[in-house]
Amino acid sequence: MLKQAVILVGGLGTRLGARTKLLPKPLLDAGGKPFLDYLLDEVSRYPTMERILLLAGHRAEQVVERYDGRTWRCASVSVVCEPTQLGTAGALKHAAAQLDPQFVLLNGDSFFDFNLLDLAASDSPAMVCVALKKDHPGDRYGRVLLERNSVKRFLPPGTQSSGPINTGIYRIDRSILDLIDELPCSLEQSIFPRLVEIEQFEAALYDGFFIDIGIPEDLERARRELPARMRRPAVFFDRDGVLNVDKAYVHKVKDFDWIPGAREAIKLCNDRGYFTFVVTNQSGVARGYYGIDAVHRLHDWMSDELAEVGAHIDEFQYCPYHVDGTVEQWRRASDRRKPAPGMILDCFDGWPVQTEASFLIGDNTHDVQAAVAAGIVGHLFKGPDLEAFVRPLLGDRQD
């Protein structure tokens, strides 16, 4: 399971002229905040991505000052600075001691809206697997020629105006460092062609919004479009009876059985670009059957299970309160306990949710009442297969 994302933020950004003379390109404003913040927001959505490593070069001190040592959602952020311009491969070589055996690598000047965990969970044996956008109009980008999933050739920009493009997002094996001999060194120009020759470079195709800010026109487009693109519809899942078999007060892994199609349903929502949340009443805490730690352990285990199939929950919301509780700390009424809408509203407050297309799936009327109180649609699920139930409810956000 991949737990590290590495982001290249060291380029000079020469095509942007004076804009990047005193500022690293990924720190340029893109609609009210630095472009890099959008990447960190996106990567940190995935709960198994515990560490984010920024590889800085040009004006590295600004990257260190803003990001080093921070926690972004639940991911720790650290920065490694190049002593000189080492190239994209050289930056990896310089940071060798801090790289996991496998990691996800992203370019700090491009954004691609797709399910990153699908790429991370790939069972490809290749040293590198790249995320390709299926098609992108125009002559600015080079194209990638494939034979099945194997990359056979990189075509330079202007060669053809259609076909898949390299988005600059890769799942990489740390053994790639053995191929980096002299510095400075470029992944794109020196290392990737060698991997193609030895059939160690594979690809996965995705749709989704893509932009890079390498030229002024696209930087301006990012400023116009990115804030709105971050607003997503959400699917809210009740837990017991929807994601797992309801055995009453489930809090141990050994008692947890996935509902048929549950993991596949969550992945489908991820692939379609929806936020996914769990909103679950956990009165067993108030009744003294188990503690808060047990809830967290089970949800962490669920995240690991989901990551194995390329899926994730953006946030687990739970309510431990009940008016009839035996544990004084948790014995009270709460506007977070369904049928009250508090857990859903807290997700609205913490995430850029597009409420109009959002909905909840529950297994009783309290779930539906909570959804209606929050201003979204509620659906009752009675089995047998959650993916089959969810599929017709989803629209397609990809473009």
Q: What is the pLDDT along the chain (399 residues), one digit of tens a residue?
A: 899 999 999 988 888 999 999 999 999 999 999 999 999 999 999 999 999 999 999 999 999 999 999 999 999 999 999 999 999 999 999 999 999 999 999 999 999 999 999 999 988 899 999 999 998 877 788 899 999 999 999 998 878 778 899 999 999 999 999 999 999 999 999 999 999 999 999 999 999 999 999 999 999 999 999 999 999 999 999 999 999 999 999 999 999 999 999 999 999 999 999 999 999 999 999 999 999 999 999 999 999 999 999 999 999 999 999 999 999 999 999 999 999 999 999 999 999 999 999 999 999 999 999 999 999 999 999 999 999 999 999 976 544
Closest by Cα among 42, 88, 303 to 188: 88
Q: Looking at residue 77, what is its pLDDT? A: 98
Active site residue 346: no
342 in any annotated domain? yes
- pLDDT per residue over 235-281, tens digit each? 999 999 999 999 999 999 999 999 999 999 999 999 999 999 999 99
399 in any annotated domain? no
Structural domain that includes position 272: 234-393
Q: Specify whether 209 is located in the same domain as 107.
A: yes
Instruction: Kindly name the residue from 240, 271, 314, 363 that is annotated as catalytic.
Output: 240
Q: Looking at residue 324, what is its pLDDT? A: 96
Q: Specify whether 224 is located in the same domain as 251.
A: no
Q: Specify whether 283 is located in the same domain as 138.
A: no
Domain count, the chain: 2
158 in any annotated domain? yes
Q: Specify whether 67 is located in the same domain as 195.
A: yes
398 in any annotated domain? no
Instruction: Kindly name the residue from 37, 109, 113, 238 that is annotated as catalytic.
Output: 238
CA distance 158 to 155: 8
Q: Specify whether 271 is located in the same domain as 162.
A: no
108 in any annotated domain? yes
Of the candidates 211, 228, 245, which is a domain's last residue? 228
Q: Looking at residue 397, what is its pLDDT? A: 57
Q: Specify whether 224 is located in the same domain as 241.
A: no
CATH of the domain at 313: 3.40.50.1000
- Other C-beta atoms within 10 Å of 212: how many? 21
Q: Specify whether 268 is located in the same domain as 167.
A: no
CATH of the domain at 29: 3.90.550.10
pTM comes to 0.95
CA distance 12 to 22: 10
Q: Specify whether 244 is located in the same domain as 351.
A: yes
CA distance 353 to 345: 10
Contact in structure between 331 and 325 (CB atoms under 8 Å): yes
Q: Specify whether 247 is located in the same domain as 184.
A: no
Q: Compute the CA torsion angle 115, 119, 120, 126 (nearest 10 deg).
A: -170
Q: Specify whether 270 is located in the same domain as 217.
A: no
Q: Specify whether 192 is located in the same domain as 245.
A: no
198 in any annotated domain? yes
- pLDDT per residue over 6-40, tens digit each? 999 998 888 899 999 999 999 999 999 999 999 99
Q: Looking at residue 399, what is its pLDDT? A: 45
Q: Specify whether 312 is located in the same domain as 365.
A: yes
| SS3 letters across 251-296 | CCHHHCCECCCHHHHHHHHHHCCCEEEEEEECHHHHCCCCCHHHHH
Scan for tokens 């059985």, then name that residue. 257
Of the candidates 192, 207, 228, which is a domain's last residue? 228
Of the candidates 166, 198, 228, which is a domain's last residue? 228
Q: How do strand 102-107 and strand 51-56 relate by DSSP bridges? A: unpaired
Active site residue 238: yes
